[in-house]
Chains A and B, each alone.
Chain A
Amino acid sequence: MVYAVLLAISAAALAVYLWWATAGLLDRQTEAAIRADVQGLSERWDEGGLPALVLTIRERLEQNVDDDAIYLLADQTMRPLAGNLRGWPEPVTRADVLYELAVSRAGQPALAQVQRYDLPGGFHLLIGRDVQARAKLRTLLTDALLWGLIVVAFMALGGAFIVRSLFRRTLANVSATAAAISAGDFSRRVRVSGRGDEFDQLAETINDMLDRIGRLMEGVREVSNAIAHDLRTPITRARARLEDAALHAETQGELHAAIERATGDLDGIVAVFQALLRISEIEAGSRRSAFCEINLATILADVNGLRLLLDTPDSVPVWGDPEMLRQAVGNLTDNAVKFSPPGGEVRLSALASPAGVEVTVADQGPGIPVEDRSRAVERFFRGEAARSTPGSGLGLALVQAVAHLHGGTLHLADAAPGLRATLSLPAQRVPSQQVPSHQVTELSS
C-alpha cells in the first residue's frame, strides 16, 4: 500500500507540474498579451485622447491576423464607440479582474478572456483575447492527465498487489519452515526457487544457519551419548575399587592405596570432561578473539623433550590462536610418540605456500586402518591398536576442532609404515613477503 501511495503521489505531482507548465503557460501568455495591449493603448490615449484611441483600435483589428483580439471602447453610458463587440458584457463589472466571457463568432460559440479598464472622463475600455483553441487544448490536456493518473493508480495498485504477494509467498515459506522446526522436524529447509534473487539468498542463508544449528545439536547429542557410554566405565571402576576397599581392605595401607587408585581414576574423568568442554568451546567458534599473527615455526620448535625430526622453514606465518595451535600440534606429536616403536622416528614438518600452511606429523607406528580413519576424529573413538595405550580418544577430535576453527582441515593418511597426520591451515590474512629457508633439525628427548 505504501508503494502504491508513493507511486500515485509521484505521478500526481508530475501531472500537476506538466499541467502547470503547458496549460498554465498558455494562460500566462494570454495575460501577457493583454497587458502589452493595455500598455500600447494607454500610450495612444495619453498622446491623442479619444480620437487616437478609436483609430488605434480600428487599425489593430484590421491587422489582427491571429484573429483573436477583442476590443471594446464604451462611453459613460456603456454605449460602444469602437471595437468588435456588439455591446458591453453585463458580467464585466470590475476593473483589473480577468473574466472568462462567452462570445459568439460567426454564429459559433467561443470563449474569450477579457479585462476591463476605466479611463479618465468616464470612458471604459475592454481588452481581451479569444482563448477557445487554448481552452480546448487545456481540456484535452486535463483529460489526458486525469486518465493517465487513473491508469497509473491502477498500475500502482496492481504492482503493490504483486509485490505484496511475492513477499507473502516468501515469508509464508520461511514461516512454515520455522513452524516445522519448532514442532521438531529439524530436517526442514526453506525452499530455494532457483531464480538467484535476494529471496533465494535469504533462503540459502537461513538454510546455512539451520545446517549449522543441526551440526551443533548433533555434536551435543554425540557428547551426551559419549558421556553416557564412555565415562560410565571409569566412574563404575572407581566406585567398584572404593567399594572393594571398604569391604575387603584389612590394613590402613591397603585402604590408602585403594583411595589413591580411585582418585587417579576420578582425575582421569575430570581431564576427559575438561577436554570435552574445550572441544565444545572450540567448535562453538567462541575462541576467535585470541587470533593473531604468529610464527608456527616457533610452536613446532617448542615441542621439545621428545624424540623427533623437525623439518620446518624459519618462518611459517599463520593467522590463528597460538595456544590452540600449540595444543593441536602437541596432540598430534603426542599420538605419534605414543604409538612409535622403540627406536622409531617421528618427523614433524611444515610447508608454507601461497595457498596456506601444511603441518605434517608422521610416525612409524601401527597407523590407522583405512576403515577406521574417518572415525578416528570422533570423540572417544579408539582403534584396536590404541586399546592398550593410555588415552581418552579425544586427541584427534580436538585437533579437528582446532583445524575447522582456523578454516583448515585434518587429513590422516598411511605413512607406510605408520600414520601421517596433516593439519592444513589457510594462508594468513596479510601475505608475507618473506622467502623462508628450510631447516632440518633433529631433536631428541
Chain B
Amino acid sequence: MEMNVRRFVGLGLMLAPLACVTLASPAGGDSAPVVVTTDTPEYCHKLMDRVTQALRAAAMPPPVEVAALSNEGEHMCNDGLTRGGILRLRRALLLLEQIPPSP
C-alpha cells in the first residue's frame, strides 16, 4: 500500500509542473464566436476593386506576378475558395504598393 502511494505521489509531482503551465492562459469567456469580416466573398470583391484601382494609379507597368496573383485571386473567390483568393489579392496589392503612383 505504501509503495503504491509513493508511486502515485511521484507521478503527481512529475505531472504537476506541466499541468500548471498548460492551465495558465489568458482570460477568456464562453460566448458566441465573433465573425471575422475579412474572410467573406464581399471582402474578396472589395479587394479586387482595390487591385483594379491600384493598377490604374500605377505609374509604371506592374510586375508580372501582380496579374497572375490578381487573376488567381479572382477565380478562387468566384469558386468559393475565399481565404485563398483573399490571400493572393493581398499579395498583389502589396506588390502594387511598391510602385509609385502616377503624378
Check B22–A142 contact: CB distance below 8 A.
yes
Q: Count of B residues near A, CB < 8 Å?
A: 39
Number of A-B residue pairs having CB atoms within 8 Å of each other in the complex: 120
Known contacts A86-B34, A91-B31; A5 and B18 CB within 8 A of each other: no
Check B10–A8 contact: CB distance below 8 A.
yes
Check A12–B17 contact: CB distance below 8 A.
yes
Check B94–A61 contact: CB distance below 8 A.
no
Residues of A within 8 A of B40 (CB): 106
Residues of B within 8 A of A100 (CB): 25-28
Known contacts A8-B11, A9-B13, A106-B83; A84 and B33 CB within 8 A of each other: no
Whether B29 is near chain A, meaning CB under 8 Å from some CB there, is yes
Whether B15 is near chain A, meaning CB under 8 Å from some CB there, is yes
Whether A85 is near chain B, meaning CB under 8 Å from some CB there, is yes
Check B35–A86 contact: CB distance below 8 A.
yes
Q: CA separation between A4 and B11, bound complex, in Å?
A: 10
Check B36–A146 contact: CB distance below 8 A.
no
Known contacts A104-B36, A105-B39; A99 and B28 CB within 8 A of each other: yes
Q: CA separation between A291 and B91, bound complex, in Å?
A: 94
Check A12–B15 contact: CB distance below 8 A.
yes
Whether B50 is near chain A, meaning CB under 8 Å from some CB there, is yes
Q: CA separation between A85 and B39, bound complex, in Å?
A: 10
Q: CA separation between A231 and B29, bound complex, in Å?
A: 105
Known contacts A62-B93, A65-B90, A104-B35; A149 and B26 CB within 8 A of each other: no
Q: CA separation between A279 and B31, bound complex, in Å?
A: 99
A1 to chain B, nearest CB (A): 6
Q: CA separation between A65 and B65, bound complex, in Å?
A: 15
Closest residue to A80 on the B side, CB-wise? B37
Check A67–B86 contact: CB distance below 8 A.
yes
Best-surrounded residue of B3, B13, B29, B32 (most CB of chain A within 10 A): B29
Whether B56 is near chain A, meaning CB under 8 Å from some CB there, is no
A361 to chain B, nearest CB (A): 69
Closest residue to A139 on the B side, CB-wise? B22
Residues of A within 8 A of B66 (CB): none
In the complex, per-residue mask of A15-31: 1 if CB is within 8 Å of any chain B CB, else 0: 11001100010000000
Known contacts A12-B17, A146-B18; A65 and B11 CB within 8 A of each other: no
Q: Which of B4-32 contact A (CB under 8 A)?
A: 6-7, 10-11, 13-15, 17-18, 21-22, 25-29, 31-32
Hey, which bits of chain A sit against chain B, CB under 8 A? 1, 4-5, 8-9, 11-13, 15-16, 19-20, 24, 61-65, 67, 70, 84-87, 89-91, 97-106, 109-110, 113, 130, 142, 145-146, 149, 153, 157
What 3 A-B pairs are tightest by C-beta distance, nearest first?
A: A91-B29, A84-B38, A100-B28
